[in-house]
């Protein structure tokens, strides 16, 4: 039963809570008003009671009137009693018909027990109901009791309570309608959030390219509900970005697996073909073995580079030792000149040696890969310059490899550092290599806390590496 009566919706709870608070406020106002009015009416009745008592005393002592009904100025319902020796000697109530009505013995007994302290008090009589009475000592040693009925006070308070119930009831009904309307309007953004969440929940998010076009409209960050809507929209943007990155990562992984499989399959197919050729034609064994050896070396290089990328992806620590980049630039440029004498190789070095802390072998591999890339993708006669600059105020050393060749195709520039990236979209290796050189450059530089970027246009291509100068290892 309790679970059925429990309000579950936020709107219902807000409405019920508001109405309960309003009802409580109305009740408090009603009680305070009734108590205040009762206090005021009792105070005024006490004043009338004191005046009636004075008239009764004056009438008895000066005019020697015997009947209460003969006292001038007493209103209908006024009670009067005279007590002497602990007994009521005279008692009655002013009536509009006979002038005075006697009281039964039970009521006179209660009147006889009143203290003569001249303090008004409430007394309930069996025959008359509630009365406000006052007992004052007389000059003859007796006690004079005067009383006025509380019926008029009770009637006024009863009418007030009826009016309050009717007015508060009408106001409560109007408030229920107003609160319901206001709450429905205030929670409208939350309904839009729920509707948007429902739309998103129906989208297939498990795989593939996912877009989340749904957004909560009409958000106002100045309100709490608007802040929820704004935060929900930001969450959707973040989720959409994360899903897009996941999709891009899955695509890269698929391409990587396909390319790696192809790169491994090519030398394996060559090895198998030459092995069959040697088996069929023993006279060509020597040439077949040479080809098998070269393809095995190519496959070994590919596996080594894949393992290097896997170690870098796993965050394996690199060596941390001082590396003379100036000497490295000279050596790698000299090696490139020997391998490609048809290109023009030049150096632009500072006067003082430039040193960083890192893995010397991997950094040398980075520079060699960049120079090999320039040799492989530019025609003979191209000028290739290795430029080195000392650390800037931010502590970053800059190494540039610049050539004046035809440049990197526009469609390849954004993906040039991806694994197996190629400009012609095919899996051919006309220029040699494994297609992982620039990917290794990016991974090694990032592992050293640096950055690498490309700017290219026909006649000017620049690969720029920025490395932190670093400090000696504390270990």
Contacts of 446 (CB under 8 A, 6+ apart): 312, 452
Give the mean model confidence (pLDDT) for residues 73-100. Answer: 78
Name the token pair of 261: 């499989």
* Dihedral sign for Cα atoms in the order 123, 125, 130, 133: negative
Q: With both helix axes pointing from N to C terminus, report the angle between 360-376 and 437-447 in degrees, rounded to the nearest 10.
A: 150
**pLDDT surpasses 80 at 325:** yes
**pLDDT surpasses 50 at 428:** no
- End-to-end CA gap in the chain: 71
Q: Report the alpha-carbon distance of residue 287 to residue 431 in Å, rounded.
A: 23
Burial class from Cβ neighbours inside 10 Å (0-12, 13-18, 19+) for residue 140 reads exposed
Q: What does pTM read for this prediction?
A: 0.50
Contacts of 253 (CB under 8 A, 6+ apart): none
Name the token pair of 135: 């007992």
Q: Assign a CATH topology to domain 12-18+24-157.
A: Beta-Lactamase (3.30.450)
Half-sphere exposure of 432 (CA within 13 A, CB side): 12
- Cβ contact 354:395 at 8 Å: no
Q: What number does CATH give the domain 318-468? A: 3.30.565.10
What residues does each domain of the chain span?
A: 12-18+24-157, 204-316, 318-468
Look at residue 425 in the predicted model and tell me its pLDDT.
46
Q: Report the alpha-carbon distance of residue 196 to residue 215 in Å, rounded.
A: 6
Confidence band, pLDDT 50/70/90 cuts, at residue 430? very low
**pLDDT surpasses 70 at 263:** no
Highest mean pLDDT among 108-122, 204-218, 319-333: 319-333
101 φ, ψ (degrees, to nearest 5): -120, 130
Average pLDDT, the chain: 82
- Cβ contact 134:47 at 8 Å: no
Contacts of 378 (CB under 8 A, 6+ apart): 343, 384, 403, 405, 406
Look at residue 379 in the predicted model and tell me its pLDDT.
92
Does the structural domain 204-316 have CATH classification 1.10.287.130? yes
What's 201's DSSP letter?
H
């Amino acid at each position: 039963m309790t679970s059925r009566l429990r309000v579950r919706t936020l709107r219902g709870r807000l409405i019920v809570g508001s109405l309960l608070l309003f009802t409580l406020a109305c009740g408090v106002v009603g009680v305070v008003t009734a108590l205040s009015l009762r206090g005021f009416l009792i105070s005024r009745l006490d004043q009338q009671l004191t005046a009636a008592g004075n008239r009764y005393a004056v009438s008895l002592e000066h005019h020697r009137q015997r009947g209460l009904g003969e006292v001038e100025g007493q209103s209908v319902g006024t009670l009067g009693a005279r007590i002497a020796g602990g007994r009521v000697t005279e008692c009655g109530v002013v009536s509009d018909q006979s002038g005075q009505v006697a009281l039964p013995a039970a009521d006179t007994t209660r009147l006889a027990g009143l203290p003569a302290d001249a303090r008004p008090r409430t007394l309930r009589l069996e025959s008359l109901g509630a009365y406000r009475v006052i007992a004052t000592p007389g000059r003859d040693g007796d006690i004079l009791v005067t009383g006025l009925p509380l019926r008029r006070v009770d009637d006024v308070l009863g009418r007030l309570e009826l009016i309050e119930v009717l007015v508060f009831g009408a106001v409560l009904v109007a408030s229920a309608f107003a609160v319901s309307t206001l709450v429905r309007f205030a929670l409208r953004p939350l309904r839009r959030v729920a509707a948007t969440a429902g739309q998103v929940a129906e989208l297939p998010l498990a795989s593939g390219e996912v877009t989340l076009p749904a957004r909560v409209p009409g958000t106002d960050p100045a309100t709490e509900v608007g802040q929820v809507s704004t935060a929900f929209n930001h969450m959707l943007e973040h989720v959409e970005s994360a899903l897009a990155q996941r999709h891009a990562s899955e695509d890269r992984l698929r391409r990587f697996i396909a390319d790696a499989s192809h790169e491994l399959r090519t030398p394996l197919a060559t090895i198998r073909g030459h092995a069959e050729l040697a088996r069929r034609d023993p006279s060509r064994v020597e040439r077949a073995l040479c080809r098998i050896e070269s393809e095995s070396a190519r496959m070994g290089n590919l596996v080594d580079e894949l393992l290097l990328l896997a170690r870098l992806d796993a965050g394996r620590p690199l060596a941390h030792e001082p590396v003379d980049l100036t000497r490295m630039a000279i050596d790698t440029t000299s090696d490139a000149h020997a391998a490609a004498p048809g290109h023009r190789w030049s150096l632009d070095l500072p006067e003082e040696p430039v040193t960083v802390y890192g893995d010397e072998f991997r950094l040398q591999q980075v520079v060699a890969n960049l120079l090999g890339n320039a040799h492989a993708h530019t025609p003979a006669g191209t000028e290739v310059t290795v430029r080195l600059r000392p650390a800037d105020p931010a502590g970053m050393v800059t190494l540039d490899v610049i050539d004046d060749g035809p440049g990197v195709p526009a469609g390849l520039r954004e993906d040039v550092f991806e694994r197996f990236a190629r400009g012609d979209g095919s899996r051919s290796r006309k220029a040699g290599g494994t297609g992982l050189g620039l990917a290794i450059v990016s991974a090694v530089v990032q592992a050293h806390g640096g950055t690498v970027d490309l700017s290219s246009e026909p006649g000017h291509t620049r690969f720029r590496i920025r490395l932190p100068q670093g400090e000696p290892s504390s270990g």
